[in-house]
Structure 1
Amino acid sequence: MAIATMITPLLISFFPFLLLIPAICFTICHANSNVLCIQSEREALLKFKNHLIDPSNRLSSWVEGGDCCKWIGVDCHNSTGHVHQLHLAAPLSPYERSKLRGKINHSLLELKHLSSLDLSYNNFSSIQIPKFLGMLGTLTHLNLSQAQFQGEIPHNLGNLSKLQYLDLRGGIMPGWDTKVTSLQWVSGLSSLQYLDLSYVDLRKANDWVQVTFKLPSLLDLHLSYCGLEDDPSPISVNSTKSLVVLDLSQNRFSSVPKSIFSLHGLVSIHLSGNSLEGPIPDYFGNTLFLEVLDLSWNHLNSSIPNSLYSLNRLQFLSLSSNQ
């Protein structure tokens, strides 16, 4: 029982990585040794490379006339040879030199079978997220996390109807590099299972509840460090029954958003680092599947309500740094 208690929160924490297991398995289990890349796709990748700044020469294998299915970061479909995935995340190291910079060329549109694009942890601080990415209609996974893009996130990303995983996490420095004034575009992502907009400025996105809580397939939602605060007139929504993980930590809530308690399937709730006041709400007693509840670093007072004792699946509870 003790081992299970420790393992379940860890599984929840690693949920975004679990979503990527199929992509990782494809890379490991299906080597590209028996296929040759398609010439038009090789040329598209070379155009893409030519607009990048690559200080550490990470893309040295990308050369004219080479088999692009053997290039670093490129995965081709095992039978068709079409470029299937681009994994170009910068290594998790403190060295800025390892990060790609420059421009993202629209030649990526020539990759008609691209299902996964990962440009995370690079340094594109001089540009916005390109609008043309919303035309990559075959994408199921898009990861631009902490790639230091600037400005408004383009609404036409909502055209990616096959998208299952979307990580647009901003930088971790004070302030926001990217922002969204409305999340209405997200409502078109009917297949989306994982969404991370942490460190994105959502202070003007008053529709975040109405949109995200209605996504029919969403399992995992991360909106930490987004500047969210209490809605003076909370709106009741017919919310998704699928949401399992909800992270609203490090925002500006003075009370727990009541809309949360319409999400009866939640397993993990993170509200640490807000300004929650008063007693712990009894509403949590309605979240019968809850296993992880983090209310640390707030201004809550009084005793633990009896409703929490009815949560017989609860395995992790943090109330530290309250009153």
Structure 2
Amino acid sequence: YNKLTDSIPSWISSFRSMAALRLSNNGFSGGIPSLAGLWQLYALDLSNNELFGSLPQLPTSLRSLSLAHNVLSGQIHLLWRLRRLRTLDLSDNRFAGSIRGVISLPDVNAVNLSSNWFTELEVPRFAGRATALEVLELQANRLQGSLPVNLVTVQNLTVINLSHNQFSGPIPRVFGLRLGSPWKR
């Protein structure tokens, strides 16, 4: 663990050939500078800091993104542009609004959006045909309404945590049909 403080300098984006940026477990505060110019960046880990504000534009080359345990807020709807993303961890922040798009990214296999302020979960009708998603952690949000029936179309899903939310109504019958055969085939 380091004890680096202040804000992440904006000049960091001048390292155009940077492949991985890991500044986790520090005392950085302020917003995340624009990193869109880091077109070779495949891994970004800024977790366990004191960063706040909304998500900046991120490089589409990212495969791993961890911004967990900060004070980031706003919406995440622009993350659908990260078509190469495999792992996403935005847990323990203050993101709000709707969760959509990230669930059906083609290469994503693990999504952790737990402990945020999300209120809606949208699962596209044919999400399962287009994604490698295996782990979906959405616990401790403010998700409400019915459980999305389209979750059953996510064929590779082996772990799902929807606890500590505000879902209501019955568990869709089609979920029970998946119990007889493994969710993952």
Specify the TM-score bucket, using the shorter chain as the normaliser. Answer: 0.7 to 0.9
Larger RCO, structure (CA 8 Å, separation 6 or more): 2
Structure 2 unaligned regions, length at least 5? 167-185
Q: Unaligned regions of 5+ residues in structure 1, if any?
A: 1-120, 122-146, 172-176
**Which whole-Å deviations, capped at 9, do the CAs of 1:105-152 have from their partners, x for residues lacking one?**
xxxxxxxxxxxxxxxx2xxxxxxxxxxxxxxxxxxxxxxxxx111101
Higher helix share: 1
Q: What residue identity is the alignment partner of 1:165?
A: A
Structure 1 residues 284 and 277: CA distance shift in structure 2, 3 A = farther
Equivalent pairs, count: 164
Give the distance between the partners of 1:303 and 1:193, measured in 2 at CA.
36
1 CA distance for matches of 2:133 and 2:161?
Answer: 13
- Whether 1:157 aligns to 2:12 is yes
Residue matched to 1:189: 38
Relative to structure 2, which stretch is displaced further, 248-257 or 287-296? 248-257
**1:228 counterpart SS class:** strand
CA drift at 1:240: 2.8
Normalised by the size of structure 2, how large is the TM-score? 0.74
User: What CA distance in whole angstroms lies between the structure 2 residues aligned with 1:219 and 1:283?
Assistant: 22
Identity score, percent: 28
**Could you say what secondary structure the match of 2:165 adopts?**
coil
| SS in structure 1 at match of 2:65 | strand
> What SS does the corresponding residue of 2:143 show, helix, strand or coil?
strand
Find the aligned partners of 2:103 and 2:88 in 1 and give their Cα distance. 11
Runs of 4+ more than 4 Å apart = 234-238
- Structure 1 segment 1-323 matched on structure 2, within 5 A: 121=1, 147-171=2-26, 177-184=27-34, 186-204=35-53, 206-208=54-56, 211-212=57-58, 215-231=59-75, 239-258=81-100, 260=102, 263-277=105-119, 280-283=121-124, 286=127, 288-323=131-166
Normalising by structure 1, report the TM-score. Answer: 0.45
The Cα of 1:275 is off from its aligned counterpart by 2.2
Larger radius of gyration: 1
Please tell me the root mean square deviation across aligned C-alpha atoms, in Å: 2.7
